Amino acid sequence: MKKRTMALVMAASFFGAAGCSAENAAAQKIHTESGRVLIAYYSWSGNTRFAAEQIQKLTGGTLFEIKPLKPYPSNYSACVDQAKKECREGTRPELAAKVQDFAKYNVIFVGTPNWWSTMAPPVRSFLSEYDFSGKTVIPFVTHGGGGMANCERDMRKTCPKANFGKAGAFSGGSIRNAEAALKKWVGEAADIQK
Ligand SMILES: Cc1cc2nc3c(=O)[nH]c(=O)nc-3n(C[C@H](O)[C@H](O)[C@H](O)COP(=O)(O)O)c2cc1C
Going from N- to C-terminal start, the domains of the chain cover 34-193
Q: Which pLDDT belongs to residue 19? A: 37
Cα(53) to centroid of ligand 1, in Å?
Answer: 18
Cα(144) to centroid of ligand 1, in Å?
Answer: 5
The per-residue pLDDT string of the chain (194 residues; one tens digit each, 9 = 90 and over) reads 445 445 444 444 444 443 344 444 557 899 999 999 999 999 999 999 999 999 999 999 999 999 999 999 999 999 999 999 999 999 999 999 999 999 999 999 999 999 999 999 999 999 999 999 999 999 999 999 999 999 999 999 999 999 999 999 999 999 999 999 999 999 999 999 98
Q: Which pLDDT belongs to residue 129? A: 97
Angle at 185 between CA 127 and CA 181, to 5 degrees: 120
Quickly count: other Cβ atoms within 10 Å of residue 92's Cβ: 18
Q: Is 158 in the pocket of ligand 1 (CB under 6 A)?
A: no
The closest alpha carbon to 147, from 173, 114, 120, 116, belongs to 114
Closest residue to atom 28 of ligand 1, CA basis: 115
Cα(153) to centroid of ligand 1, in Å?
Answer: 17
Q: Which pLDDT belongs to residue 8? A: 45
Distances (CA, A) of 37 to 102, 187, 188: 10, 14, 15
Task: Record the pTM.
Answer: 0.90
* Residue among 9, 86, 87, 114 whose CB has most ligand 1 atoms within 8 A, to mutate: 114
Cα(109) to centroid of ligand 1, in Å?
Answer: 19
Q: Is 41 in the pocket of ligand 1 (CB under 6 A)?
A: no
Q: Which pLDDT belongs to residue 84? A: 98
Q: Which pLDDT belongs to residue 126? A: 98
Cα(22) to centroid of ligand 1, in Å?
Answer: 24
Q: Which pLDDT belongs to residue 13? A: 45
- Give 34-193's CATH code, choosing from 3.40.50.360, 3.40.50.1820, 3.40.50.970, 3.90.180.10: 3.40.50.360
